[in-house]
Amino acid sequence: MPTALITGATSGLGAAFARRLAADAYSLVLVSRDELRLAQVADQLKLRYGVSVEVLPADLATDDGLARVESRLRDGVDLLVNNAGFGHPGRFPEVPVEEEVRMLKVHCEAVLRLTLAVLPGMKERDGGAVINVSSMAAFYTRGTYSASKAWVLNFSESAASEVGNPRIKIMALCPGFVRTEFHQRAAMDTSGIPGFLWLKADAVVRAAMRDLAVGKRVSIPGLRYKAIVALSRLIPRSVQARVSARIGR
């Protein structure tokens, strides 16, 4: 039975990945800061799918939390889903530097370190996969969030080309607006976002797993978002920046 480790596993895309992989008979290792909620989610998955579920409470913004997850990954997993992340409600100059650094720690350093921790075991077993959750924001310019997600996208594509084993897949997942707790937790006003731009978490995960299976290095769920990315490549960066700033307000 294959094993998957998912960060940010108690809600949103992380929880959707957990449900999908449990249904596919993966043993799960769930990582989150919220120990109580982690235990509740694990119990639900065990009851519904009858799979083994291990919980690993860890704050990926801390060295201790990262070290705990790195240690578990070195024991061997077949699929790593780097999903943990968060947003800021404020504009770039207004966000406290401590929070900006925390975001870089979770979005960038954690993705780097956990990917590096899992790869030796995958190379030894001659196979495995890593899904790094980026964002549509990676294609635009909007503060530290989009910058950090652009790093995830670039890193994933670079790692995929340099890992040196076609049986080890590394993919960046770049969803648009998804119906999760993400925006509520970040105290973001989403009332102006058109309904047709919203995606369901389970649908995003289905698209991601399908794209991973066929070896894509970048997964963009939804035809509407594929079109948006294609259009963005035709627009000058200066214009993109102005549009992103207006949408953000």
Catalytic residue among 26, 49, 140, 145: 145
The reply to whether 49 belongs to the active site is: no
- Which tokens in the block code for residue 229? 């990315």
The identity of residue 74, as a single letter, is R
Active site residues: 145
